[in-house]
Homo-oligomer: A and B are copies of this chain.
Amino acid sequence: MGEKEQEVEIIRLLKSGPGYTSGQLLSASLGVSRTAVWKHITALRAMGYAIEASPSKGYRLREGRPFHGVELQSVLAGQAFGCQVHFFDSTDSTNARAFELARNGAPEGAVVIAETQTKGKGRIGRKWESPAGMNLYLSIILRPSVAPQGAQGLTFALAVAAAEAVLASGLKPAVKWPNDILIDGRKTAGILLEMDSEPDRVHFVVAGIGVNLNIKQDMFPEYIRQTATSLLEQTGSPVDRVAFTANLLASMERWYGVYLSEGFVPVLEAWKGYFRSFGKPLKVTFFDHAIEGICAGVDVDGALLLERGGRVERIISGDVEAL
C-alpha cells in the first residue's frame, strides 16, 4: 500500500464505525507503526478532515468532508467507474490529463478530477469556465469495442447519466441536443467526448463533464451569466460535491453498460424523456452559417430533425439554441 492508499484506508476505517477507532487497529490494519498512523492523521487534517484524537479511545471522524482525491477514493472504492482517481488542485484540462493517462495505458473507469481548470474545454473548441472550489470538472477513460461511429451513441448515454444525476437533486433537467444539460432553459452541465482511434476501431474515449454545482449566478462571467445556472442557484442549498460525483459516476457506469449491451434504442428512449425541444423553434449554427427551423424530433440514429419550409432536414453536427 502506498502512502496515498494508506490515507484512503484510514478514512474508510474511521467512517466504518460511529465511535472511535483505536490507533492500534489502524496500525494493525495498515501494517504500519502507530507513529506512521499519526503522521497520516496530521496529513489528513491538513486536507480538511475534522479528526478528533483521544489518547485512550483513538480517532474519530467528525461530519463534513473535503473534496479531494483521498475522500473521493474512499467513497468510490469498488466502483468500476472511479477505479482510479487522479485528483489535481489545478490542471489545464481534465480531458488533456485523461488523454495522457489513457495513452499510457490507464484502465477503463479511471477518472481525472480537478478543483480548477486553467484551459477547460467545451465542445467545438470552446472554453469551459472552471473556477475553483465549487463545481465538478471530471474526465473518465472509456475503452469500448466500437468503431468511431459508435461514439456518437455514447454521447447520448452520458447525457442521460448526467440528467439523472441532476434529477436526483430534486430538479427537472432537460437535454439540449446532443449533450448539454439545462435547468429552466439554462446550461448546468456540458459533456465533451474526445477519442483516439483508427478508422475502424476506437482505442479509447475520454468523456469530460463539467457541472455547475455551487457557483453563484454573479460569479459567472458576463458572457454566460444570462444563459448558465447551477444546482445551488436552482435548489437554494449547496451540493455535496463528493456525493454528487459518486452518484454521477454510478449513473454513467449504468448507462454505459446499457449502451454496450442493449444498443442505442433504450439509450435514445431515455434521452427523449429529457428532451423538451419538440415543436419549438431552434437555431442551428454551423462552422460558417446558421439555419432556423422547428424541431421535428430526433431520428433513430440521434440526428436532430429540423423542419424548414415543409421539409425536414437531418442535423448531424452543429450548435443548437432555442429561439
Contact = CB atoms under 8 A, between A and B. Distances in A.
Interface of A: 99, 103, 123-124, 145, 147-149, 151-152, 154-155, 192-201, 203, 287, 316-317
A287 B145 contact: yes
Nearest to A205: B199
A316 B148 contact: no
10 A-B pairs with least C-beta separation: A200-B317, A148-B148, A152-B199, A151-B199, A155-B199, A193-B199, A149-B149, A195-B197, A194-B198, A196-B196
B198 A192 contact: yes
How many copies of this chain does the complex contain? 2
Contacts of A201: 124, 317
A237 B194 CA distance: 46
A203 B194 CA distance: 9
Chain A interface helix/strand/loop/mixed: mixed
Contacts of A103: 99
A151 B147 CA distance: 12
A78 to B, nearest CB: 29
A154 B199 contact: yes
Contacts of A196: 194-196
A152 B145 CA distance: 17
Given A194-B198, A197-B197, A198-B193, A148 B149 contact: yes
Contacts of A124: 201
A193 B152 CA distance: 20
Contacts of A317: 147, 200-201
A94 to B, nearest CB: 15
Nearest to A194: B198
A123 B123 CA distance: 29
Nearest to A302: B199
Given A147-B316, A149-B149, A317-B147, A197 B199 contact: no
A319 to B, nearest CB: 11
A198 B124 CA distance: 9
Contacts of A198: 123, 192-195
A233 B124 CA distance: 49
Contacts of A154: 199
A103 B149 CA distance: 22
A254 to B, nearest CB: 20
A276 to B, nearest CB: 22
A195 B194 CA distance: 10
Nearest to A195: B197
A103 B206 CA distance: 15
16 contacts: A99-B103, A147-B317, A148-B148, A148-B151, A148-B195, A148-B199, A149-B149, A152-B199, A152-B200, A154-B199, A193-B199, A194-B196, A195-B196, A195-B199, A196-B196, A200-B317
